[in-house]
Amino acid sequence: MTSRNEAGIRTAVFPVAGLGTRFLPATRAVPKELLPVVDRPLVQYAVHEAVEAGAETLVFVISEGKESVAEHFRPDPALEADLAAAGKVALVARLKDILPEGVRVEVAYQPKPLGLGHAVLCAREFVDESAFFSVLLPDDMILNDGPGALAQMAAVHARTGGGVVGVEAVDPQMTGSYGIAEVDEGEVPRITSLVEKPAPEDAPSNLGVVGRYILDGRIFSLLEDLGAGAGGEIQLTDAIAGMLGDHPVYAGTLAGTRYDCGNRVGMLKANIDYALANPELRGAMLDHLRQLDLDD
């Protein structure tokens, strides 16, 4: 089966309007998405993942005061020229790598924190509703040795022609923290129901939704008419659930380790493991860890 978007998933939406209060005071003046994981901002990993999967338009959904998230991805010719004049060629290359050539940045505003579904709706003017697009939550980092999480999902989309939602098995007692998917037993599991943050006794499975989506552009018409759901917010999972009968959505089980960088422990784990995965840093990190007295 072929997808409606024959050329691939060309538009990626990044909902980054949140205040990052779990990281105060660090996020008092610096958006959480610009906090570093090793040597680059958190959001840059998600952007590179989207570009790897074919994204050519990046839509950052921000709130007032978070313009620096999008500005990080805009070229700085003056800085590049100064570094080049100083012979710092490697640094110039690293700057150019922030946003690959041919990829453009758009900005949409979410005036009030009304939920993930509302944030996606705010990006509507930049998305082709006749095609599929992706949504990436930078808080979810997925480390692996192969294709990135979104590229894995794009392969599922290319095979099935449907939407794809990233999932992983979660602790059954933690279903109240996730959207939970119920799937059929097909070769590529198709989602049959989707519930936002159900209590453990009400959860249809323990497959939790993680922050990666490939969605049919027709979802915007559902989001537009959707009322508040769990937590009094407009939930993206509710809109996806409303499409399941007419537009197939598949579960994408993602290879790799996920880090929830929406909390301090997850961010610390990501920094350690991404540093260990970096050949330039691994030796020094291992030496340091060996020297630590890790006993309580």
Residue 230 confidence class, pLDDT cut points 50, 70, 90: low
pLDDT of residue 19: 84
Model pLDDT for residues 103-149, shown as the tens digit of each residue: 999 999 999 988 999 999 999 999 999 899 999 999 999 999 889 99
pLDDT of residue 185: 86
Section 17-22 average pLDDT:
88
Model pLDDT for residues 145-173, shown as the tens digit of each residue: 889 999 999 999 999 999 999 999 999 99
Q: What is the share, in percent, of the chain residues with pLDDT greater than 90?
A: 72
Section 76-93 average pLDDT:
90
DSSP for residue 190: B
* Cβ-based neighbours of 133, under 8 Å, separated by 6 or more: 9, 10, 11, 12, 13, 127, 214, 215, 217
Tell me if 209 sits within 8 A of 237, measured CB to CB: yes
Nearest to 156 by CA among 189, 193, 183, 205: 189
Mean pLDDT of all residues in the chain? 90
Section 243-249 average pLDDT:
90
The yes-or-no verdict on residue 198 having pLDDT over 50 is: yes
pLDDT of residue 5: 43
Alpha-carbon distances of 192 from 12, 196, 209, 218, 286, rounded to whole Å:
25, 14, 14, 18, 45
Residue 20 confidence class, pLDDT cut points 50, 70, 90: confident
pLDDT of residue 2: 35
The letter for the amino acid at 142 is I
pLDDT of residue 296: 57
pLDDT of residue 3: 38
The yes-or-no verdict on residue 274 having pLDDT over 90 is: yes
With the CA atoms of 12, 13, 14 and 19 taken in that order, what torsion angle do they form, in degrees rounded to the nearest 10?
170
The yes-or-no verdict on residue 232 having pLDDT over 80 is: no
Section 255-268 average pLDDT:
94
Burial class of residue 107, CB neighbours in 10 A (0-12, 13-18, 19+): middle
The yes-or-no verdict on residue 221 having pLDDT over 70 is: yes
Sorted by where each starts, the structural domains of the chain and their CATH numbers stand as 11-291 (3.90.550.10)
The yes-or-no verdict on residue 281 having pLDDT over 50 is: yes
The yes-or-no verdict on residue 228 having pLDDT over 90 is: no
